[in-house]
Amino acid sequence: MGLPFAVFMLCIYALIAWSGNKILNEDDEKTVR
């Protein structure tokens, strides 16, 4: 139970970090332009 749960949380964390980083990058491009 512990290992699969840790992998599941890691995948969610990576997805949130990727989507959040993508949004930040889009905002930076808007401010630069």
**Three-state SS sequence of 1-33:** CHHHHHHHHHHHHHHHHHHHHHHHHHHHHHHHC
Residue 33: inside a domain: no
Predicted TM-score (pTM) of this structure: 0.56
What confidence tier does 33 reach under pLDDT thresholds 50, 70, 90? Answer: low
Residue 17 lies in a domain: yes
Dihedral sign, Cα of residue 21, residue 23, residue 26, residue 28:
negative
Q: What is the number of structural domains in the chain?
A: 1
Instruction: Dump pLDDT digits (tens) for 3-25.
Output: 999 999 999 999 999 988 887 77
Residue with tokens 């997805």: 15
Residue with tokens 């949380």: 9
Domain limits for position 15: 1-25
